Amino acid sequence: MLSPAELNLLSRLDLAYRRPVSGLYAGERRSPRAARSPEFADFRPYVAGDDFRQIDWRAYARLERLMMRL
């Protein structure tokens, strides 16, 4: 839990947030960053040279082998 002094400090912070976008083009612009889909189709074994960001670390913990998300 936070102490009263910490709560007082937090109350003085001005937290910035983004307002939801509304209008004709809301959500229709492409992101400048490439990203992988949060849903995946299958796994395959890791091959040297594969992107480490695609490794499924939970599958590695279960199987003790590096597995890639497809």
Asked whether residue 70 is assigned to any structural domain, the reply reads yes
Query: What b/e readout covers 38-57, taking b as 16+ CB neighbours within 10 angstroms?
Result: eeeeeeeebeeeeeeeeebe
Asked whether residue 12 is assigned to any structural domain, the reply reads no
Where in the sequence is the domain holding 48, given as residue range(s)?
Answer: 41-70
Q: State how far the alpha carbon of 7 is from the alpha carbons of 2, 15, 16, 17, 42, in Å.
A: 6, 14, 18, 20, 46
Asked whether residue 14 is assigned to any structural domain, the reply reads no
Helix (H) or strand (E) holding 8: helix 4-11
**CA–CA gap between residue 35 and residue 8 (Å, rounded):** 39
Asked whether residue 5 is assigned to any structural domain, the reply reads no
Asked whether residue 52 is assigned to any structural domain, the reply reads yes
Report the number of distinct structural domains present in the chain: 1
pTM flag (> 0.75):
no
Asked whether residue 66 is assigned to any structural domain, the reply reads yes
pLDDT in tens, 10-37: 888 776 666 666 666 666 666 666 656 6
